[in-house]
Amino acid sequence: MSPKIVDRQAKRAEIARIALDVFAEHGVDATIEQVARAAKIGKGTVYEYYRSKTELIFGSVLTYFEQLDQLTQDASQQFDNPEQRLRFEVKRIVKRLLGDKRYSQIVVGVLRMTNTKEGRLIDRTLNREVNRRFVALITKRILEGISHGVFRPEIAKQTEVLAMNMIAFTDGLWFSYYLERGKINLEEQLDLYLHIFFQHLRKTPSASADEKVVHPRETMAAKGSHDF
């Protein structure tokens, strides 16, 4: 029946993956033809798997975020303290994301689609898609912290608000970093936010015993990381 057996699902995913790189390189202004060339297929073949360019962008972005699950999941087990662990995880995620050209292009790409009909559907979906992962992670750690007795129990009911707050900060951090690449001290800003954030969560605000657990080797593009 089907002589040329092709795993359409797999090929679709592969095209998305390649498109992701092309978009990361040239922005979403990249031509379908560029994508096709990169994927070593014909222009028409792209349309065999994606109805429109918008759909392809959507697909490639989703692909990216599926890869992100790794980031949020295989978090290191080396810390038994939830605060240290979240601290480690957040820094790790932020650094990876902000250091990833593809992430920036995706964000920009999504934002600029905002003015198009199709785009409007996509951007919100994506945003929710991304946030969902981080909210889940942060919520989990906060609750762990509470049950470990290190975080105040009262905050249990506002985990989502807290998570969104951290997301807002990291998004904004990306923004500054993206536009002023090199001028902003990522590590320093992140540490500052985490410091005041956890201060708020802890039972004894002053007891920030172990603020600098995270392996300082990862400091990216840091220019005089104050390490306060």
Which residues of the shown chain bind DNA in the complex (CB under 7 A)? 1-6, 8, 11, 29, 31-33, 40-45, 47-49, 51-54
Give the integer Cα–Cα distance in Å for 30 and 57.
10
Tokens for 188, please give them. 């320093």
**Smaller CB distance to DNA: residue 31 or 158?**
31
**Smaller CB distance to its own copies: residue 84 or 185?**
185
Q: Which of residues 175-204 bind its own copies (CB under 8 A)?
A: 175-176, 178-180, 184-185, 188-189, 192-193, 195-197, 199-200
| Residue that is written with structure tokens 């129990």 in the block | 153
208 Cβ neighbours under 8 A, 6+ residues apart: 195, 198, 199, 202
Measured in whole angstroms, how far is the alpha carbon of residue 32 from the centre of its chain?
Answer: 25
- In 3D, which of 141, 133, 137, 135 has the Cα closest to residue 80? 141
| CA quadruple 27, 132, 169, 142: dihedral sign | negative
195 contact, one of its own copies, DNA, none, CB 5-8 Å limit per kind:
its own copies
**Smaller CB distance to its own copies: residue 50 or 169?**
169
The residue ranges that bind its own copies (CB under 8 A) are 26-27, 29, 105, 107-108, 110-112, 114-115, 123-124, 126-128, 131, 158, 161-162, 164-165, 167-176, 178-180, 184-185, 188-189, 192-193, 195-197, 199-200, 205-206, 220, 226, 228
